Amino acid sequence: MFAYFAGLFTGWSLIVAIGAQNAFVIRQGLTRKFVFVVVAICALADALLIALGVAGLGALIKGLPWMLELIRWFGVAYLVWFGIKSIRSAMKSDSLDARGESSATMRGALLTVLAMTFLNPHVYLDTVIFVGSVANQFGALRWQFAFGAMTASLVWFFALGYGSRAAARFMSKPIFWRVLDSAIAVIMFSIAAVLATSKLA
């Protein structure tokens, strides 16, 4: 059980930060649109990447630096586009009420959450390389560590998505949505800037 709990707390230490993916989960929770699908995809994607890391994909990625570079610039472009979209949303008064119709479709939500998950090279560094490397230090217990990290993702995303969904009734004023979308835009632009300038190791 030590390996499982080590994985659980390692997973939480990496995931509990308001990045692009978490900001999108919060936005979907507050609008009450496709919450289950979004949080399930986030948790399953993390589980898949962690499993691949434990299985040895991390070593392959380390040997292909061009792959992370390609993912980096696709991610930068997508985050900038999403930031611009959030600014436009903040300026529109007819789409700010959580109780109204959301402009997001199921297909749009799926593509966005997949892009924010797989077009961020830091996701691979955290899950495939870092978690995979630490898990393999536990030898025969590496999969217990991996399941702990997977549990952390599952609990975090469902708590974030459904916690935001429950809070939506208290946040129906247009000013809240204007501020939220503006904050999300700042987050997206900031992450894009860090992604574009940081050294991927």
Question: pLDDT (tens digit, 9 = 90+) per residue, 48-67?
Answer: 999 998 887 766 766 777 77
Q: Are 184 and 79 in contact (CB under 8 A)?
A: no
∠ Cα 55 152 76 (to 5°):
75
Q: Write down how long the chain is.
A: 201
* Percent composition of the chain: helix, strand, coil (DSSP 3-state, to 5): 85, 0, 15
**What is the tens place of the pLDDT at every residue in 162-192?**
998 887 776 666 777 678 778 878 877 887 8
User: What pLDDT does 18 receive?
Assistant: 64
How far is Cα 181 from Cα 32, in angstroms, rounded to an integer? 15
Distance from the first to the final alpha carbon of the chain? 31
Higher pLDDT, 57 or 35: 35
Q: Any idea where the domains of the chain sit in the sequence?
A: 2-173
The structure tokens listed for 12 are 């939480």
Q: Tokens 């939506």 belong to which residue? A: 168
- The answer to whether 188 and 79 have CB atoms below 8 angstroms apart is yes
With a threshold of 0.75, does the pTM exceed it? no
- Radius of gyration over every alpha carbon of the chain, rounded to an integer in angstroms: 17
Q: What is the mean pLDDT of residues 117-140?
A: 82
State percent of the chain over pLDDT 70: 85
What single-letter DSSP state applies at residue 56?
T
